[in-house]
Amino acid sequence: MHTTVKNLLDIENNIKVYLNKLNINSYPKIIAVSKTFKIDKILPLIEYGQVNFGENKVQEALEKWSNIKNEFNNVKLHMLGKLQTNKVKFALSIFDFIHSLDNEKLAQKIASEQKKYEKKPKIFIQVNIGDEPQKSGIQKDKLKDFFLFCKEIDLDIHGLMCIPPVDSNPIPFFKKMNLLNETLNLSQLSMGMSADYIEAAKNSSTFVRIGSKIFGDRV
């Protein structure tokens, strides 16, 4: 068994063990964050049955995934990094999900470009849940208006995404995200990475984004 598959199985088992203790039998989907990793580490996961993969850069995704997605049409690719408006048309050709929508200009560009495709990407609005000036994301007090704007221009808003402040207890931030999601009547939450995926799963995350615990450290 390839190391990446073993690591993924360990993560799946950890999630089930912790959630079963809480009598929760609904588990988040795991996005294997494959940015910077080559195909030889990715293919064993696809062959095992892993469906969701994440990338941070449009160009890398196009070079790496175009052929793979043609061969394995069940694979879903998630854009996790900051998306520039001049890359939107390329992003829509390869990504199924976008997790980093955080401004009106980008929303308008996606709305314009998606008309050229048969399917609309599923989109997560990125929330600056820790009110950190250096981080991307919509401020909490502007979220409702931005959400309504996105719906008006026919974006498929799937849910909310956040990255809690580094070196902070993530649980209060995950709880805030749940409240925001409920306020907007959304059902999907993209929360949790390698360091805090268990806490995210306990707090109703539906997608956890895991890189190093599957693929190992990036060089």
How is residue 70 written in tokens?
């043609």
Most confidently modeled range among 6-15, 34-43, 117-126 = 6-15
By C-alpha distance, which of 129, 206, 203 is closest to 168? 129
Which CATH number describes the domain made up of 3-215? 3.20.20.10
The answer to whether residue 216 scores a pLDDT higher than 90 is no
Over the stretch 6-22, which tens digit does the pLDDT of each residue have? Answer: 999 999 999 999 999 99
The answer to whether residue 37 scores a pLDDT higher than 70 is yes
Distance CA 163, CA 170 (A): 9
Give the pLDDT of residue 219: 58
Strand partners, 77: 53
The answer to whether residue 218 scores a pLDDT higher than 70 is no
User: What is the band of 133 on the pLDDT scale with cuts at 50, 70, 90?
Assistant: confident
Supply the mean pLDDT for the chain: 94
The answer to whether residue 192 scores a pLDDT higher than 80 is yes
Q: How many CB atoms lie within 10 A of CB 46?
A: 17
Mean pLDDT of 168-172: 94
The answer to whether residue 118 scores a pLDDT higher than 90 is no
Mean pLDDT of 138-152: 96
Percent of the chain scoring above 90 in pLDDT: 86
Mean pLDDT of 26-46: 94
Q: Give me the DSSP letters along 108-177.
A: HHHHHHHTTSSSPPEEEEEE-TT--TTS-SB-GGGHHHHHHHHHHTT-EEEEEEE-PPTTS-SHHHHHHH
Residues 179, 183, 186, 190, CA torsion sign: negative
Give the pLDDT of residue 117: 80
Higher-scoring residue by pLDDT: 65, 167: 65
Most confidently modeled range among 92-101, 108-117, 164-173 = 92-101
- Domain extent listing, the chain: 3-215
Angle between helices 3-21 and 39-48 (to 10 degrees): 50
